[in-house]
Chains A and B, each alone.
Chain A
């Protein structure tokens, strides 16, 4: 499996089914949802924009790194683009492994690295009609340190 950018709604059931392995004793899934509040400001919707081919290549590298670091069977990650409403699924990560420890750690690694490195941008729209592109607090660049 791999990293994909998707402009249509994410279907977790289909993604989960594609990870099923008879050797798997654990499947850890992370879902990132659109939340109604960021740093005290009421959010009404989010818009994601991606540099799709590079995002998918960098995402595939993140998943390959996770495979190298942890004993897992498979992993997949999907990130949405477009306008999302409160409660919508913005990002989905699924990892299967023989045992839960590696599945949890690999899932955490993939979402943390994806947030830092994948060329995806988020604009928040607020209840008062204004909007803002979000920047990560830490000094980070697409592609990670290099």
Chain B
């Protein structure tokens, strides 16, 4: 088990009812963590529509979660 800090933006923040939380998880990757949180929080966005950021940068393919990581889940963007 590891403890990670999770931030949510936009529709995910609203569906969670919070912008951040501390999560204890067995998930090995940001994608696996999202699938876990999607189940528990009832997020409507499928995992393939959500991009993860890890410690302030877009999570590279194959990124692995470590104790104390800062994870952010980003819905499809819509600037401009």
Contacts and interface: CB of A to CB of B under 8 A. Distances in A.
Interface of A: 32, 48-49, 51, 53-54, 57-58, 79, 90-91, 111, 114-123, 133-136, 140-143, 146
B57 A135 contact: no
B57 A51 contact: no
Interface residues of B, number: 21
Contacts of B61: 146
B9 interface: yes
Do most interface residues of chain A lie in helix, strand or loop, or is the interface mixed?
Answer: mixed
Contacts of B56: 53-54, 57
A8 to B, nearest CB: 17
A69 to B, nearest CB: 20
A111 B80 contact: yes
B58 A54 contact: yes
B78 A135 contact: yes
Interface in B7-29: 7, 9-11, 13-14
Contacts of B74: 51, 119, 141-142
Contacts of A136: 76-78
A48 B79 contact: yes
A42 B57 CA distance: 36
Given A48-B79, A79-B80, A135-B78, 12 more contacts: A49-B9, A51-B74, A54-B56, A114-B79, A119-B74, A120-B77, A121-B75, A122-B78, A122-B79, A134-B78, A136-B77, A143-B58
A117 B80 CA distance: 11
Contact of A135 (B14, B53, B60, B76): B76
A136 B11 CA distance: 14
A118 to B, nearest CB: 5
Closest 10 CB pairs of A and B: A120-B79, A121-B10, A143-B58, A115-B80, A134-B78, A122-B78, A133-B11, A141-B51, A142-B77, A135-B76
A58 B58 CA distance: 9
Contacts of B33: none
Given A49-B9, A121-B9, A146-B60, A91 B77 contact: no
